[in-house]
Amino acid sequence: MYVAVKGGEQAIANAHALLASRGRGDRTQPAITPEQVRDQLGVLVSRVMTEGSVYDPDLAARAIAQAQGDALEAVTLMRTYRTTLPRFGTTVAIDTASLPSERRVSATFKDIPGGQQLGATFDYTHRLLADPTEPLAVQTAVEEDEPMPRVTDLLGAGALIEPVTNHGEGEDPDPDPADLTREPTVFPMSRAERMQALARGDEGFLLGMGYSTLRGYGGTHPFVGEVRVGEVEVEFVPPELGYPVSIGRIEVTECQMVAQFVGSSEVPPMFTRGYGLAFGRSERKAMSMSLVDRSMRWEELGERKVAPANDEEFVVEHADAVAATGFVEHLKLPHYVDFQAELVLIRGIQEEIRERQAGASPSSDPSTSSGVGPTSSDPSTSSGIFEEVSR
């Protein structure tokens, strides 16, 4: 096989070697193991799993270590691995109402059945750099789990909030979700497709979009109905068995945002929902997602589209960090050819201007002595550039 060997190949090999060496850092220090990343950088692992669309803390940890801590690189590694995996079906919808919650907070009611539980949160930590040698604080025993019905279900019982699904009589209450990684995406999207796009979307971008809805760009006046974090069983119905079997457990963060709705001639005013779900401990992501989800439902709820967060095409097309970072960074690639084409044009235009100015200056007409002004008698070449300049 003939493979051309040119300067570029050596440069790439050297760059890879230097990258690996920089990533390793000081060799007198022990290398970080993926196990350490998995256990001690769990929040980052959650983000990489969520945006990478694969639930596998070990692989995500390995990706983070390989990417030298670059979250988007790690997400790209996960996605590239994921796309090679065969797909054998869709699981039963996970039941988050019955998940034994490690964390559960509601901003809508003080006292809720099952109680509130802070869980592992940065919320009330004082953001002071801590002494890493300080011993771990000991957690005091907590009460046993009791059932925690969803806050939105409590509102639903009084018909104060829109029903959870609008499937009609006889329709499948748990239809297969869409999958935009396997089917072409065409706008407008279904809510399921949008939710998948948001789940894969960049945490920072969604945070910004969600934030914008709170600052008046398409305000939805939301309340956190409930945020909960916990492990949930994943069940799958193999066609040859016909009944669900458990295939594992995943940790998820769920956010149900309760938003206002003014109502219409057919529907009385009631609360509406925004939903967010992410792998692991990803509260910021789940909350942002639920805000943006609610914003993008403007059409379904008969609202007006007034803000960037309402705009499905804008949000979905720009939320994917893998696409965004790839395209922004591709500007580093050579653009000699296009740039040369622009050079040729700009030089041509400038030359024409100079020629015209040179042709105009000997004129005795004082109005054209400035060098700017239409001088050519040929209308086809008397271009607007002069009008532009003299304006």
Partner 1 sequence: MTFPRVTSNDAYLDEQTKRVIRRALLKGVAIPGFQVPFASREVPMPRGWGTGGVQVTASVIGPDDTLKVIDQGADDTTNAVSIRQFFSKVASCDTTTRTDEATVIQTRHRIPETPLSEGQIMVYQVPTPEPLRWLEPRESETRRLHALEDYGLMYVKLYEDIARYGHIAKTYDYPVIVNGRYMMAPSPIPSFDNPKLHRSPALHLFGAGREKRIYAVPPYTDVRSIDFEDFGFEPQQFKTPCAACGSVGVYMDEVIVDDQGGSIFVCSDTDHCERVAASRQEVDTRFEEASA
Instruction: Give the range of 56-64, 271-279, 287-295, 297-305 binding partner 1 by CB under 8 A.
Output: 56-64
The token pair at 198 is 């948001």
The token pair at 23 is 């990533």
Spatial CB neighbours of 38, under 8 Å, sequence gap ≥ 6? 45, 57, 58, 60, 61
Q: State yes or no: residue 4 binds partner 1 (CB under 8 A).
A: yes
Position of tokens 């309760």? 258
Q: State yes or no: residue 359 binds partner 1 (CB under 8 A).
A: no
Q: State yes or no: residue 391 binds partner 1 (CB under 8 A).
A: no
Alpha-carbon span 282 to 209, nearest angstrom = 17
Size of the site for partner 1 (CB under 8 A): 63
Contact 151, 105 (CB under 8 A): no
Among 31, 120, 341, 358, binds partner 1 (CB under 8 A): 341
Q: State yes or no: residue 343 binds partner 1 (CB under 8 A).
A: yes
Instruction: Give the range of 7-15, 42-50, 105-113, 217-225 binding partner 1 by CB under 8 A.
Output: 7-15
Alpha-carbon span 366 to 373, nearest angstrom = 11
| Shortest distance, position 220 Cβ to partner 1, whole Å | 23
Among 215, 362, 384, 391, binds partner 1 (CB under 8 A): 384
Q: State yes or no: residue 299 binds partner 1 (CB under 8 A).
A: no
Among 89, 127, 327, 378, binds partner 1 (CB under 8 A): 327
Fill in the DSSP letter of residue 63: H
The token pair at 46 is 């959650």
Alpha-carbon span 391 to 387, nearest angstrom = 6
Among 68, 325, 357, 375, binds partner 1 (CB under 8 A): 325
Orientation of helix 283-295 relative to helix 203-214, angle to 10°: 50
In the window 169-228, what residues touch partner 1 (CB under 8 A)? 180-188
- If the CB atoms of residues 2 and 243 are measured against partner 1, the closer one turns out to be 2
Q: State yes or no: residue 379 binds partner 1 (CB under 8 A).
A: no
**Dihedral sign, CA of 123, 69, 318, 331?**
positive
Alpha-carbon span 194 to 190, nearest angstrom = 6
Binding site residues, partner 1, CB under 8 A: 1-4, 6-9, 11-12, 34-35, 58-59, 62, 76, 79-84, 86, 180-188, 313, 317, 322-323, 325-330, 333-338, 340-345, 348-349, 352, 380-381, 383-385, 388
